Structure 1
Amino acid sequence: MTTTYLDLINRGAGYYPERTAIVFGDRSLTFSETHTLSNQLAHSLMQRGVKRGDRVALLLNNSLYSVPVDFACVKAGINRVPLNARLSLNEHRKMLEETGCELLLYGADLSERAAELRDALPTLQCHGIGATDGGGDDLLADAAGQSSANPDVAVEPDDVILTLFTSGTTGTLKAAQHTQASYAGVCKNVLLNLVAVEQDDAMLHAASLIHASGVFVLPFWLRGARTVIMPGFDPDAFLELIEKERITAVNMVPTMLQMLLGHPRFAEIDVSRLRQVIYGASPMPRPVIEKAMATWGREKFWQYYGQTECPLTIAVLRPEDHEEELLGACGKPSIDVEIRLVDEQGNDVPQGEPGEIAVRAPSMMAGYHNAPELNKEMFMAGGWLRTRDIAQFDERGFLHMKDRTSDMIITGGYNVYPKEVEDVLTAHPAVAECAVIGLKDPQWVEAVTAVVALKPDQNIDEQPLIDFVAEQVASYKKPRKVIFTDAIPKTAVGKINRKALRDQYAKTA
């Protein structure tokens, strides 16, 4: 028998009914209350004609109801399609059209966008979670009159229950599909490789729960631990909650940690209960992680490398490996994940040589939605999935990222991986953050170009930065040009948006 996402939800609900499961501000839900509400919401959806396998879009910011709504969709056999609230109306419209969603659930704070989408797509039905301004019923109000019994919906391990648009920067819509079985595999992957959850633990979520942060909910649910949710990331409130809620684990992207480092209370708060500072999603600048470890202790820091297509951990860098050159590594392969490094033809590269990471794991997606050509391109014989990430193993078995194949710069016949140059630039005392891109050049085909945001009160010219890089890497890798800017654009989950920069500066090349 294959364990499903639904199995794990129901197990956790029965283990610890009276313990606190969800905390949001001054409100909370027990495991029993969360289980009951999610059952009632599932019945509300089914009463409105939603059937097993239907795709339903979710336009919800972090709230007390984030977890009950997700669980309700799973219990009703629904294939949920989360929409990042930070995206534009046009992007939301395209996502709904691409996935064929005819029903949208929205939060009260996003009623206006729901109404705009309803106007743009006349066949779209909208229902609120604590609201009606965007159209339709308030399902929270309706749920109170619904049955609290588990919905009578038969599910299969290969039922798709999540269609999640990736944060990739290729400009092409890609929606990874996860099944009842693969999402259960994600939960096992987290428990096996990253977090040994105990009953009195609590994890603080400030990032959007529709991405990596939400992956931690089910492992904590299964162990009777608390999920503490913030509406968004605020450094002051984040540090306060670590103390107030006796937080034992946090998950952050590097930009969040960088913001915390600048807070006056970072070195003052009580982090004695905080066991794990988990980070991933994009490369961590070395000066940031070194300062954070010096303040909070190296033993707290865990890095994961993963993708929406194969969450959460493909490789993990444990605290004891946070030293010297390994600070730039992804870590060692996860116990339940197989990794190969391959060339463009899918052949294994020689030992010690860089190649594209290919993976095979129980947590892997079933494929991209409505993209047969892309699936054919990304899946290899034997069930292996290409990642488009270039890496190499060192002699001790640690995986070191080189870069994304789509971001690789070819200049004068040489391959340049932006991350390598960014790592050098970030170490300069005047640089707050940077991104390296390739811009068209008549001589070099692509010119290595650094887009740099300086720290407050810092001032430096282009040439000293170029010279700084040239001292540490091969000459062909140094920037041919430095563009100064106030801030580096990020994707919705905090990754450097190199595509946006390439588009922005292409006309200046």
Structure 2
Amino acid sequence: MQFIHEVLQKQAEKQPDAISLYPENHAPISYGELWQHVGVAAAWLRSQGVQAGHRVMLACENCPEHIALMFACSVVGAWPVSVNARLSAGEIRSIAEHCEPHLIVFTKQCSPAAARHAEEYSAQPCKAQGLRDACSYAVYRPNAQPESPELAQQVAMLVYTSGTTGAPKGVMVTHKGLLHFARVSAASRQLSGRDIAYAALPMSHIFGIATVLMATLQAGASLVVRSRFDVDDLLAALVAPGISILQGVPTMYVRLLDVVSDAQQVQAPALRYVYTGGAALDPALKERIETLFGQPMHHGYGITEYAGSMFITRADAPRSDTSAGYAVEGVELRIVKEGRPITTAGEDGDILIRGPGVMLGYYRNPEQTAQALLPGGWLSTGDIGHIDADGALFLTGRSKDLIIRSGFNVYPLEVEAAINAFPGIRLSAVVGKKESDGNEEIIAFYETERPEDINVDALREHLAQHLAPYKRPSRFIHIDSIPTTTSGKIRKDPLRAFEF
């Protein structure tokens, strides 16, 4: 295969009557029907003048129309630029100005947020039959130039980073990388046509695109497609149609535990694989989820700049710790510190990656591309971690989140893990705040199950038993809801800007 739409085409030819999607409020869609929708959408794109190398922006939430349009862009040779419709008008506008799409399509039927954006752009109704009148569109830059044929053939889509630290960057994700990972991911999870996966992760994010969508279609399995995560909906879907593969970011599982804490409250007769990625795994969360479902919680490590997970725990050998597992096929790892490769197990350093999923670069951003793509094909991830004696990767934190306290390195993940283990704490986020002497104060924000349950003095005593003095926060701030991106990652910049 050369292009991502060929994965769907193959399944439509092989098993046209098998169910591909279980949408919200609609009958199931077969592989044959979904492929027909892709054909209609591709014809419509061509009728609007879309050519190979054009960008087509999709302001969307998860729905069959979004999926059909992504693959239709692949058929035409255009680049889909999926952005979560829950972004602000300013964020949508910033991405549009950067990528200069030929069209912007809004999945208004499944997303009130997309409908609001469509009004701002005076979007016209889309009458392509295969899109069920669910979309509207705006001609944004009809004179936008397509990219060169060579580049157009390599890039499958632009995926914009969350933009929590400055302007978002458009990652050029390749067909080659997504196709490779679809096969690797399906094999690592032992997916088959009998599986049903849950798809509430936004398909504007690499986790939702690669791990959830592409791997599931590669295996000919089915997807329960949801525009957003809802605990009651998940609990119902575990029963019917019977989810067997559950994947999500850690905050999704935190929200599940807000509602359900007793295993007797959950019926999941088909569930066989539980996985989290997109952020480091907290040991307290892992223990609670494993108790809830009565089976291991698997973990992996991936970033937007790589087309899928780079490390995954082994399905047949679950771990009791919070490791991100082992390198998937094709991935090479290098841990470096001050430019020196680290070979000692357990020693932290900067994580560099090389493999078939490495991005081509940041679109129209050669300076930041040069910072991320290093000589020899290595990608600087911006993450810090170490390898243990048997080759498993442990994430320590983001280099930009590192706190320097009294000359020592403090990794927020370690502090957050200790805080999250305290009874009554639901979620925490630790940041550093510069002091006048150049030192950094450690500040902990936390969510609770019930605010009155937390005695801060008792929490301090708990941390004194688990953390060295220089790692302990000096301030604890209760917050109703820790801010997250639309893909569920904790946003620390708003916390750093918090007025004390």
TM-score (norm 1): 0.88
The root-mean-square deviation of aligned C-alpha atoms, in Å, is 2.4
Compared CA separation, residues 228 and 341, structure 1 to 2 (3 A) = same
Task: State the match for 2:17 in structure 1.
Answer: 18
- Displacement after TM superposition at 1:243 (Å): 1.0
Aligned to 2:238: 242
Q: CA contact under 8 A between 2:263 and 2:291: conserved in structure 1?
A: no
Which residue does the alignment assign to 1:259? 255
User: Structure 1 residues 214 and 266 mapped into 2: Cα distance closer, same or farther (>3 Å)?
Assistant: farther
Q: Cα deviation per residue 1:64-96 (whole Å; 9 max; x = unaligned)?
A: 323211111111111111111111100110010
Give the conservation status (yes or no) of the 8 Å contact 2:283–2:417.
yes
Which of 246, 267, 271 pairs up with 2:268?
271
* Secondary structure of the corresponding residue to residue 358 of structure 1: strand
2:295 pairs, out of 294, 298, 305, with 298
- Name the structure 1 match of 2:357: 363
Q: Distance in 2 between matches of 1:17 and 1:497?
A: 42
Offset, 1:266: 5.0
User: Number of paired residues?
Assistant: 479
Change (3 A) 1:112 1:457: closer
Query: What is the CA distance between 1:311 and its match in structure 2?
Result: 3.4
Give the Å deviation of 1:126. 8.4
1:399-454: per-residue Cα shift (whole Å, max 9, x none)?
A: 11110001111122221111010000111113221110001112452111111222
Are 1:227 and 2:223 matched, yes or no?
yes
1:191 correspondence with 2:186: yes
Aligned equivalent of 1:495? 489
What residue is the counterpart of 2:146 in the other structure?
Answer: none
The worse-fitting range, judged by mean Cα deviation, of 58-67 and 353-362 is: 58-67
Moved more, 267-276 or 435-444: 267-276
Aligned match for 1:177, one of 166, 172, 180: 172
User: What corresponds to 1:162 in structure 2?
Assistant: 157
In structure 1, distance between residues paired with 2:457 and 2:192: 53
Counterpart AA for 2:154: D
Q: Deviations over 1:351-379 (max 9, x none)?
A: 23211111111122111111111111111
Report the Cα offset of residue 35 of structure 1.
Answer: 0.9
Contact 1:394 1:400 in 2 (8 A): yes
Structure 2 match to 1:456:
450
Contact 1:115–1:134, Cα closer than 8 Å, also in 2 = no
CA distance in 1, matches of 2:315, 2:187: 16
Q: Any unmatched runs of 5+ in structure 1?
A: 138-153
Tell me the alpha carbon deviations over residues 88-131 of structure 1, each in whole angstroms, 9 at most, x when there is no partner. 10011001011112310111232221221x27xxxx98858555
Residues 486/222 of structure 1: CA separation in 2 closer, same or farther (3 Å cut): closer
Identity of aligned residues (%): 27
Which one-letter code corresponds to 1:422 in the other structure? Answer: E
The structure-2 alpha-carbon separation of the partners of 1:287 and 1:207, relative to structure 1 and needing over 3 Å to count, comes to same
Instruction: Tell me, in whole angstroms, the C-alpha distance in 1 between the residues paired with 2:496 and 2:317.
Output: 35
What SS does the corresponding residue of 2:53 show, helix, strand or coil? coil
Aligned to 1:483: 477
Residue 35 of structure 1 aligns to a residue whose secondary structure is: helix
CA distance in 1, matches of 2:479, 2:276: 26
Secondary structure at 1:389 match in 2 = strand
- Residue 33 of structure 1 and its aligned partner are, at CA, apart by 1.2
Alignment of 1:92-491 (within 5 A): 92-108=92-108, 109=112, 110-116=114-120, 118=121, 130-131=132-133, 158-167=153-162, 169-193=164-188, 195-211=189-205, 212-215=207-210, 216-264=212-260, 267-299=264-296, 301-318=297-314, 322-324=318-320, 326=321, 328-345=322-339, 347-352=340-345, 353-443=347-437, 445-456=439-450, 458-491=452-485
Unmatched segments (≥5 aa) in structure 2 = 140-148
Contact between 1:279 and 1:302, CA under 8 Å: does it hold in 2? yes
Mapped to 2, the partners of 1:196 and 1:132 lie a distance apart of 34
